[in-house]
Structure 1
């Protein structure tokens, strides 16, 4: 059979099941902006304050967060990106290719749970800003203490649900604009509050050197004592959390969906835009803002929520940053949860399934404990998916090096007679769900068993308290790799499948030819190079620059508290004006580019 004979079948395949074509790949700037936008979010307010409450020291924060985030960057670059670039597939598609329907359904169910909880936490964070508009008291218990707060959550939450159902593309595009603004606002908020914090701690609003910063940090921010008055976490715990916070996406390989568009493997280093600016700087800035707000309000950081902190640091812009950061993050994760649920309940439309998942999400969001426990939730969520990342890593990276056959489970199915279709037909039917008996018969039982035993191993280590739970993903990942390699070698991976491998190679050639024809037919995307659009972009960057300059004036131009009050008042006003200008001009420029592409097509 020739390669071209596959083409009619390929045209009928869902594009999501195919590798990303060459003409749709992106350069490094795309990923730098993407990660800067995604990893400067509402969670940073919560996590930054959590480090304060957990009692880390200043040097532990400065050094530990740097080391942990660098390790996360290397994890994306050395583990996730190579697999994504070599396969050009999302994890969901690649996992289905490796392990079939049963494993995919189980994994999708886990993702529904994880992304629903994260979405709920972000909705609650957004509501901490909205509650200030209605003078609702801070929600300090694990359950809601105000019926009006519940109504706010229901209102904000249902907006999120409806947008995830109908308007996610617009929100995703808008979210891309938020990255630079969020970075500037986190930095500016810390600068704007630091003089007041310094005056309360060392009796002066200006620093004379780095030693003053360390002294203020040790005495009022990262004191080494937790909120219960006991010795806090140490350097290793700080490093561990910074590394483990995104295990879902790097060791767990979820970000294959993003990095499959990368032209080169080295673009994994672009995650530094999110880790160093988003996590390192934003977590430190959030800690400063939280401690400064606690000093000004004569409270403790555990009695404050993100709305309190953001409003005190940024004025009216604080409302915007909490609502926008929480809203965009919640929408993205609820959309993911809806896709995962729809893959399970395939007889129902994505909109209906997303609505059902959204209702459950909003109900969970009414309970403030969800966002207050975001740090352990993220860590445990990573522990759930890391074994799956280990299974995929083993099959893709290790199997070819030790003589085992990649995609052996799929090949075995084809050889057994249950897969008597052409490779292209097999791909096309991969999204067509079959009965439970058929799924069970064709399941990659080695993968399912490895995931189950890997979970028992990881959570068992946690139960026995063998090590800090921040690092549990490492032995769990390694254990699952070894176990899956052993089980697969006994289940068929050690056999050779020459006919099936030959058909796979022919299919890949046919896919590349088909996509080359598509690229010629579609043409190149149009970039808006008009003078007016350049002016709009320039106006947006000027607005950000003015905001940052005003914050620097507050930080370094306030000789006493009287000068500080004047300067911070100006900053609040101009910061809000610049926020409006930035989003107005940037969104206008985005719409002009979209309109130009619609005209061209």
Structure 2
């Protein structure tokens, strides 16, 4: 799906076309794999985002209880970790391909186009939600009232969205790599700030509920939670969601990436399948802690402002919990997440509209995204939107899972659709060359008639029927919509296995399979040559860079210590006001120090590698 520059490494091979392949279409070579620390940092940074403010407040508004939150989020996030580890990572490590490339290999051009269209829709909506969240912080600078309706009711807010949104669009078009690198620095800071914000607000919340600023036991925490945060009563005054719903959402929140297999693009770089467990850095620190912290911050802000959590937006909450650092956390978290998803949306759209450049398509998609971002209902409904988005792509994950794991075990042929197409093609040519030629030709350049003639109709039908099945269950309210992805996934697996067996998967394709093996061996030889000619990354072990990293970590430590002092050394409200004031001031200074030193160290490492390249 993602266009890359062509390799300039040549090789002696029976398939010279391999040198012309797009690197994105090839398996990741051994010399480019990463260790577990890479994935722990990656997931910690990606899964602590601006959405956590919204989701944390949503659990409060839905009326979960404190025990349901503490246990349900833990169980649900562990199930999500296991889903990555047992489903996504094995396929990614065994194929070393992204889902987009592997899906094209399994299901052909038409299916890939449909899937890319679904990705445009999903990532556009998520990007719009993140832009709106960022604007909730910017609006405070202009004294714009909170946007509590589904539509904007302030013209200046619309202008703010347009301004912030177009910056996001331009960065996604021209400067995404810099933002992606900067986003990697944000993970540790975001985790510290979420924890610190909850610690800084909790004494005020405790004083309002139990009449004292300090806790004497864990039961005090449960009491405060039950009475002022997770009360078991929703915003309409009715009994709220229970333990099973909390577990279901925590599991389903990332259905797109684990059951839907989107994260094959990341995990194909993992040296071992067990590295799927590194997603715990995002789920336990990012989602579990961040969602709980966001609920505490939202409830605390509501108490201090004598409001309700449904009348607040992320900007209100972050500013009250973190002071000036609150502006930074909402803007940065929303901005970096929006850029990443808008970039994905642009790539997906460009794969469909191949005659236009990625920048042109990204701009067009970005304009639509910014318009959507003007409507606050998008970010306020992020919880059901994420769940339904997962339901949209889960059937595709089921199709890939069936072909990869189930077909070889029951005697069906993996990649049967591609083999059948090759068999009906030019039989007098080398199958290996034909396979290589297929990879070097953009699928989107085929005529529509050719696409339909060679389409894996079993895959397309399974996806469509799977969607009807899943959304039909939702319409009939057979079960909680948080769990709809499970029967939908299983149903699609069974359906696709049956349809594929009736369409050609039961046949054998020895010549085509031999050509596939020959091509894979040629690719390995090509990549071995790459490994010999390409230099390895140089790690910056200079004293200056070590000092910069040390300063960054000290800044985070100081921030957390000040928050702990505010939480545990505020004997009364007078002491609390002093301590929280110090936390606001020095927390902001430490934020500047952290980003300044971290970014400086990053630039030093990049310059060192450029000098050695």
> RMSD of the TM alignment (CA)?
0.9
Q: Paired residue for 1:159?
A: 167
Q: Which residue of structure 2 lines up, in the alignment, with residue 193 of structure 1? A: 201
* 2:222 counterpart of 1:210: no
8 Å CA contact 1:6–1:424 kept in 2: the answer is no
Report 1:136-155 matches (<5 A). 136-155=144-163
Please show how residues 558-573 of structure 1 align to structure 2 within 5 Å.
Answer: 558-573=570-585
Q: CA deviation at 1:4?
A: 4.7
CA distance in 2, matches of 1:403, 1:429: 31
Name the counterpart of 1:523. Answer: 535
Shift of 1:427: 1.3
Q: CA deviation at 1:55?
A: 0.1
SS class of match (1:422) = helix
Partner of 1:317: 325
Match of residue 445, structure 2, among 416, 427, 433: 433
Match of 1:354 in 2: 362
Q: Which of 96, 108, 120 is residue 116 of structure 2 equivalent to?
A: 108
Which range moved further: 217-226 or 417-426? 417-426
Work out whether 1:402 is the aligned partner of 2:410: yes
* Aligned residue in 2 for 1:557: 569
1:513 is aligned to: 525
| Alignment partners' CA distance in 1, 2:380 and 2:138 | 17
Shift of residue 6, structure 1, vs aligned partner: 3.6
C-alpha separation between the residues in 2 aligned to 1:570 and 1:83? 50
Whole-angstrom distance in 1 between the partners of 2:386 and 2:321: 26
Between the aligned partners of 2:434 and 2:359, the Cα distance in structure 1 is: 32
Aligned length: 599
- TM-score (structure 2 length as normaliser): 0.97
CA distance in structure 2 between the partners assigned to 1:390 and 1:311 by the alignment: 43
Partners of 1:131 and 1:54 in 2: CA distance: 26
Counterpart among 584, 589, 604 of residue 592 in structure 1: 604
What do residues 166-196 of structure 1 show as CA deviations (whole Å, max 9, x unaligned)? 0000000000000000000000000000000
TM-score (norm: length of structure 1): 0.99
2:40 to 25, 32, 35: 32
- Show CA shifts across 1:386-425 (max 9, x none): 0000000000000000000000000000001168652211
What's the CA shift string for 1:322-380, capped at 9, x where partnerless? 00000000000000000000000000000000000000000000000000000000000
Q: What runs of 5+ residues in structure 2 fail to find an aligned partner? A: 1-10
Within 1, Cα distance between the matches of 2:398 and 2:442? 22
Which residue does the alignment assign to 1:546? 558
Task: State the Cα deviation string for residues 256-295 of structure 1 (Å, max 9, x = none).
Answer: 0000000000000000000000000000000000000000
For residues 139-179 of structure 1, give each alpha carbon's deviation from its aligned partner in whole angstroms, at most 9, with x where no partner exists: 00000000000000000000000000000000000000000
Taking a change above 3 Å as real, the CA distance of residues 265 and 309 of structure 1, as seen in their structure-2 partners, is same
**Number of the residue aligned with 1:8:** 16
Match of 1:472 among 469, 484, 487: 484
Whole-Å separation in 2 of the counterparts to 1:137 and 1:185: 25
User: Separation in 2 of the partners of 1:116 and 1:598?
Assistant: 34
1:257 match: 265
How many Å separate the matches in 2 of 1:565 and 1:417? 77
Greater mean deviation of Cα atoms: 536-545 or 425-434: 425-434
Determine the structure 2 residue equivalent to 1:119: 127
2:502 aligned counterpart, secondary structure: helix
Alpha-carbon distance in structure 2 between the residues aligned to 1:530 and 1:10: 40
Q: Which moved more, 1:409-418 or 1:175-184?
A: 409-418
Cα deviation for residue 5 of structure 1 reads 3.0
Q: 2:502 aligns with which of 477, 490, 501?
A: 490
Q: Could you list the structure 1 runs, at least 4 aligned residues long, displaced by more than 6 angstroms after superposition.
A: none
Matched, 1:411 2:423: no
Partner Cα distance (1:446, 1:54) in 2: 40
Find the counterpart in structure 1 of residue 51 from structure 2: 43
What does 1:39-78 correspond to in 2, within 5 Å?
39-78=47-86
Identify which of 25, 28, 43 aligns with 1:20.
28
Does residue 89 (structure 1) correspond to residue 97 (structure 2)? The answer is yes
Matched-pair contact (CA < 8 Å) for 1:7–1:514: no
User: C-alpha offsets along residues 494-535 of structure 1, whole Å, 9 cap, x if unaligned?
Assistant: 000000000000000000110010011012111111010000
Query: Cα offset for 1:58?
Result: 0.1
Residue segments in structure 1 that go unaligned for 5+ positions in a row: none
Contact 2:109 2:444 in 1 (8 A): no
Mapped pair 1:327 → 2:339: no
Partner of 2:4: none
Provide the C-alpha distance between the structure 1 equivalents of 2:449 and 2:466, rounded to a whole number of angstroms.
25
| Equivalent residues of 2:320, 2:326 under 8 A apart | yes
| Structure 1 SS opposite 2:20 | coil
Alignment-derived partner of residue 6 in structure 2: none
C-alpha displacement at 1:214, in angstroms? Answer: 0.1
Among 455, 460, 474, the residue aligned to 2:467: 455
Report what 1:300 is aligned to: 308
Contact 1:141–1:368 at 8 Å: present in 2 too?
yes
In structure 2, do the counterparts of structure 1 residues 232 and 432 end up closer, same or farther at CA, with 3 Å as the change threshold? closer
Residues 352, 444 of structure 2: 8 Å contact kept: no
CA shift for structure 1 position 559: 0.1
Q: What is the deviation of 1:426?
A: 1.6
Matched, 1:235 2:243: yes
Q: Distance in 1 between matches of 2:306 and 2:578?
A: 21
* DSSP-derived class of the 1:142 partner: coil
- Shift in CA distance, 536/431, structure 1 to aligned 2, threshold 3 Å: farther
